Chain A
Amino acid sequence: MPNKTVLLIDDEQSFLEPLADALESEGYRVLKARAADEAFDLLETEHIDLVTIDIMLDPGSAFIDDVDSHSTGIHLCEAIKEEWPNIDAFCISVVSDMKIIKKIESLGIRFLRKGETPLRTVLNMLRSRLTGIAYSTERDRKDFKRKP
């Protein structure tokens, strides 16, 4: 049973839940934050191995100057890389603006398109990062081809 903790930061419950279910089914401990301030509280108090971050996010009481809907997620990515550089970070968002995606990737954070990336692919990528075993598309295909 993996003994690792994943923090999911997303204000859309509809995406938080299935991703949490998938990770918990593999034995990971999952924490959820629906706003940036909740995420900071958990980052400061819990041992976290991996974090997923949404871009369009409720800032809560953090980043009070953010008015642009994309700013909060970007600021959060920057803050996490700055203050918790040892935590693996993924960005999972619907954002399609290449400038924003490049900005995120320039921070060393892998970007995945929310919803459009199959859950098994997201799960395999996160698992690969958590276990240190290289990600392979073969695993995706096997999952896909598995007979009921």
Chain B
Amino acid sequence: MSQNELSLEQLKKKVSHLERENAKLKGQIEQVEKERGEYLQNVSHQLVAPLNAIKWHIENLTAGRINVERGKTVLKSVYSQATIAVHLAKNFNLMSNLEADHALKKLKEPLQEIELHRLMVNLANDFQPLAWDRNINIIVDDENFDKRPTVLAMKPLINQVFSNIIENAVKYSDKDTKVIIKGKYLDESDTFLVTISNYGIPLNTDLCKKIFDRGVRSDEAKRKYPAGTGFGLYIAKRIIEIHEGTITAITRNGLTIFEVTLSVRGLKGKARVRA
């Protein structure tokens, strides 16, 4: 009898404990759902904004509100907005795969020889129209960029890494400044180092580490540029990790510097596949 009473007491305690656990889990699920909702709303806004801007530009062109000369500038802006929309769409596609480990294999692509100098020049050209808005000049420093060797990596993913870093550098740069891109082959480690520097919102030591975490944006970044998901650098870090490279951020003398190293010979244990 006494044993039964004790069991009942224990059962009550267990039920009570399970109820608390249940409530806790329910709270966590609600929080995740809330974050997902906010994320989707943010994604939707970011993707829709450049498309809507393009619509407004096209309305002006078709209604004959601007002359031919202005029209050329507008078309450059339309091109720039389309580039941003494509870039964001790729990010969100990558994000959904990076979030689910079982989908990581979807990211595996043949390794290709990449000329990093050429890649940086192409990306600088893509983002320059956006940068002109605040008189920011993106410079690929030819004298300080080794043209060889190429690196063996998954090109579309590496393209997205540097797109994200350059887009951030442009977005958070002060007006009338430069974004400078340099590249150096490091003989001793057989790696290629790319540095992207800009003058803008400084990152403190703590943020330099956290800035690659999912969804992290500095308070100053959120204040000055409300739109943003905080996923660009997270995606960059995950892709660089897949390539067994490194990515770091430092702030020195007002200059924010992102450094990326990639193995020249590609991922360990992977056969070289020439595209």
A: residues with CB less than 8 A from B are 11-15, 17-19, 21-22, 25, 34, 56-59, 66-67, 69-70, 94, 114-116, 118-120, 143
In the bound complex, CA of A18 to CA of B77 (Å): 10
Using known A-B contacts A21-B60, A67-B219, determine if residue A14 contacts B53 with beta carbons closer than 8 Å.
Answer: yes
Q: Are A21 and B81 in contact (CB-based, < 8 A)? A: no
Of all chain A residues, the one with the shortest Cβ separation from B62 is A148
25-61 of chain B: CB within 8 A of chain A: 45, 48-53, 55-57, 59-60
Using known A-B contacts A115-B53, A115-B56, A116-B52, determine if residue A21 contacts B66 with beta carbons closer than 8 Å.
Answer: yes
Using known A-B contacts A13-B133, A25-B66, A56-B226, determine if residue A94 contacts B56 with beta carbons closer than 8 Å.
Answer: no
Using known A-B contacts A56-B226, A119-B59, determine if residue A17 contacts B74 with beta carbons closer than 8 Å.
Answer: yes
Tally of contacts, chain A with chain B, CB under 8 A: 75
In the A-B complex, the 8 residue pairs with the smallest Cβ-Cβ separation, listed nearest first, are A115-B52, A69-B226, A14-B53, A18-B56, A25-B65, A56-B226, A13-B133, A119-B59
B: residues with CB less than 8 A from A are 45, 48-53, 55-57, 59-60, 63, 65-66, 70, 74, 77, 81, 133-134, 219, 222-227
For the complex formed, measure the closest distance between the CB of A72 and the CB atoms of chain B, giving whole angstroms.
8
Q: Which residues of B contact A118 (CB under 8 A)?
A: 55, 59
Q: Are B49 and A22 in contact (CB-based, < 8 A)? A: no
Q: Which residue in B48, B60, B134, B222 is a CB contact (below 8 Å) of A22?
A: B60
In the bound complex, CA of A68 to CA of B59 (Å): 33
For the complex formed, measure the closest distance between the CB of A63 and the CB atoms of chain B, giving whole angstroms.
9
Q: Are A18 and B225 in contact (CB-based, < 8 A)? A: no
In the bound complex, CA of A54 to CA of B48 (Å): 16
For the complex formed, measure the closest distance between the CB of A4 and the CB atoms of chain B, giving whole angstroms.
17
Of all chain B residues, the one with the shortest Cβ separation from A13 is B133
Of all chain A residues, the one with the shortest Cβ separation from B81 is A14
Q: Which residues of B contact A67 (CB under 8 A)?
A: 219, 222-223
A-B contacts, 18 of them at CB < 8 A, read: A14-B49, A15-B52, A17-B74, A17-B77, A21-B74, A22-B59, A25-B66, A34-B134, A56-B226, A58-B223, A59-B224, A66-B223, A69-B226, A114-B52, A115-B53, A115-B56, A116-B52, A119-B60
Q: Are B57 and A18 in contact (CB-based, < 8 A)? A: yes
Q: Which residues of A contact B77 (CB under 8 A)?
A: 14, 17
Q: Which residues of B contact A17 (CB under 8 A)?
A: 57, 74, 77
Q: Which residues of A contact B55 (CB under 8 A)?
A: 115, 118-119
Q: Which residues of B contact A94 (CB under 8 A)?
A: 45, 48-49
Q: Which residues of A contact B52 (CB under 8 A)?
A: 15, 114-116
Q: Which residues of A contact B224 (CB under 8 A)?
A: 58-59
Q: Which residues of A contact B227 (CB under 8 A)?
A: 56, 69
In the bound complex, CA of A69 to CA of B225 (Å): 8
In the bound complex, CA of A25 to CA of B63 (Å): 10
